[in-house]
A = this chain, B = another copy of it.
């Protein structure tokens, strides 16, 4: 079951959130691809195609059972699994992520936070106490953690990444704006906050130019 487009996975998460809201409000028992798509800013065809990669979840002439579809998405996306995660970097962004409310429902559990700054080690962040980077390897091996978040300054990111991989980490979500050099078997995703914003300013400039030329 591969060949699923990258963007499809991200949209499934968005569908899931909306369905969860519907279930909570008991608003609706059934929803069409048109309504679901419209609610989350996606075309109906896109919704159906996204789901079709994983099976048949709807009923022709009717739509999708909200509660069942939600459960199916949980299954597909692995929300019923527990994903222990370690986070390195107890700066502003690291602390924000520990407290981010959206992770837990998806099985994403930050179980430890590390920093090399003595002023931060020992501090409480969310429900966790910041540990020294020296403990990274021990914790990862003890708990069998495969997923890590890097939220350290740019200069430290590569070193931290190597340490994590050595300890057994298989996938890294890197918030530091720098490309990591790691073995091919390690999955790395980049969250580049500045580049997202720049895309916006770029498009805004484009729109201005177009408007001026009319």
Contact = CB atoms under 8 A, between A and B. Distances in A.
A59 interface: no
Contacts of A189: 196, 199-200
Interface size band for A: 35 or more
A189 B177 CA distance: 19
B83 A93 contact: no
Contacts of A192: 10, 13-14
B195 A83 contact: no
Contacts of A81: 201, 205
A92 interface: yes
A96 B102 contact: no
Nearest to A103: B194
A9 B199 contact: yes
A200 B187 contact: yes
A173 B195 contact: no
Interface string A1-14: 11000100110011
